[in-house]
Amino acid sequence: MRVTGVIQAGGRSVRMGGRPKALIELGGRRIIERVRDVLLPLVHDALIVTNTPDLYAFLGLPMVADVYPDHGSLGGIYTGLKAAAGDAAFTVACDMPFLHPEVVRLVIARAGEGDVVVPRVGAQHETMHAAYAKACLPHIEERLIAGRLKITGFFERVRVVEILESEVAAFSDPAITFMNVNTPEELERATTIAAERG
């Protein structure tokens, strides 16, 4: 199965004071570069969903603008999946500095088993570290048009395969692997982790 990597960089970084969190340096590299460098060897091709392409041109990846602007992460997932050349899109947030290649591989390896392949930690689905098949498109679009933007809202309409927390933990601490840098406090914690990891 052909899987396209999709990096979501459409957020407005409100909690970081409007500073694009993807471009913050951590351990000598911008967060989005860290994401790209883990992702590229694992997928057939990759693209970025962004409404500010000038900021990310340096990454050398194709970029697409939101089909449904201001429709949150669900709109970004839809846009990336619609633009993906592959049968499925592995979608990841641009602000996850500790993406783990083996955990990404776990999700991608099972992409043919369901319409959504998603890790679950406790009660939470890690929807911004998941694979979505093209079969999801009409169900997502229906919800976007209705303004119902909760990502898991369409899951009942498709086949969902969950990656267990224990499967993730075999490779990496889920709390670090799925960590987002949304706030100055989270950035401070990420900086500490990056320093500890050298």
Mutual angle of helices 137-146 and 72-83, in 10-degree steps: 140
Contact indicator for 103, 39 with CB cutoff of 8 Å:
no
Burial group, residue 51, by CB count within 10 angstroms (0-12, 13-18, 19+):
middle
Q: How many domains does the chain have?
A: 1
Strand 3-8 relative to strand 45-49: parallel, antiparallel, unpaired?
parallel
pTM of the model: 0.95
What 35-39 contacts at long range (C-beta under 8 Å, 24+ apart), as own/partner pairs, is 35/7, 35/92, 35/93, 35/94, 35/96, 35/97, 35/99, 36/7, 36/61, 38/99, 38/100, 38/101, 38/104, 39/5, 39/7, 39/90, 39/92, 39/99, 39/104
User: Which secondary-structure segment (H or E) carries 92?
Assistant: strand 88-93
Mutual angle of helices 31-39 and 101-109, in 10-degree steps: 50
> What are the pLDDT tens digits along the chain (198 aa)?
999 999 999 766 555 566 788 999 998 999 999 999 999 999 999 999 999 999 999 999 999 999 999 999 999 999 999 999 999 999 999 999 999 999 999 999 999 999 999 999 999 999 999 999 999 999 999 999 999 999 999 999 999 999 999 999 999 999 999 999 988 899 999 999 999 987
Cα–Cα distance for residue pair 112/192, rounded to 1 Å: 37
170: CATH: 3.90.550.10
Range of the domain at 170: 3-196
